[in-house]
Amino acid sequence: MPHVTWSRREDNPFIAEIVMQREEVLNAFNTQMAAELIEICADITARGDVRVVGLRSSSPRSFCTGADLKERNGMTEQAWRDQHRLFEKMFYAIADLPMPTVAIIDGFCLAGGMELALNCDMWVVSDKAVFGLPEVTRGIMPGGGGTRLLSRRIGVHRAKEMIFTGQKFGAHEVAEMGLVNRIVPSEQLDAAFLEIAAPIAENAPLSVRYCKSAIDELIGYPDDIGRERELAWYNKVIDTEDRHEGIRAFNEKRKPQFQGK
């Protein structure tokens, strides 16, 4: 049985959802689950016409609780390192999806599970979700972007508190830190996701993808370099059919029909 599946939404085929379904262990990821996530991300990218991706759990109990430590119990150091290289590919596969990604989070979102969410572009969160990077309480440290990505989102001081203490935080606390795009009751998660995803899916796909790439690349650049690279991304959009279609539709007072070309 697969631990991860994906499908297009019936109400909008431009929106895909990746579903983690290893419910019996709160979606702790093991070797199989990581390999499946990598393969699914490659499949979605190859399709070319998916415009938004949601990452969610099949269970409200847990989004993901990180690596399966039972599978890791008794591993040699070399086996641990080999497995972590696979996990690294999994995190990067999510981060490198060219279209916007939204983590749809309910229940526990801990350790590598929170890092999976950090590798997404946006968060839609249940008001009952619980977050944390407790790796230091187990003698390890975040290895999937936690020390690199969290401070970009919430600042160095808050990131250090979360990582150094290993403590858990509630949904409203992480929302106050600036990590959350929407915070709603569990039963409203799907509607909140669509509130973000549907308008994105209507926009020019190449424009949105280039905006994502530009934002991700330009974080931390000195302004002189940032200006140059920003215009390089802008100029990639100029000679696209979608740009011409957008101008035509505006002048013809109609809704544009973007094709991602």
- Catalytic positions are 67, 112, 115, 135
Residue type, 241: E
DSSP character for 85?
H
Q: What gap in Å lies between CA 225 and CA 147, rounded to an integer?
A: 25
Dump the DSSP string for 218-246: HTT--HHHHHHHHHHHHHHHHT-HHHHHH
Question: What's the distance, CA 93 to chain centroid?
Answer: 10
Burial call 151-169: b when 16+ CB within 10 Å, e when fewer: beebeeebbeebbeebeeb
Judge contact between 91 and 119, C-beta under 8 A. Answer: yes
Q: How far apart are CA 72 and CA 31, in angstroms?
A: 10
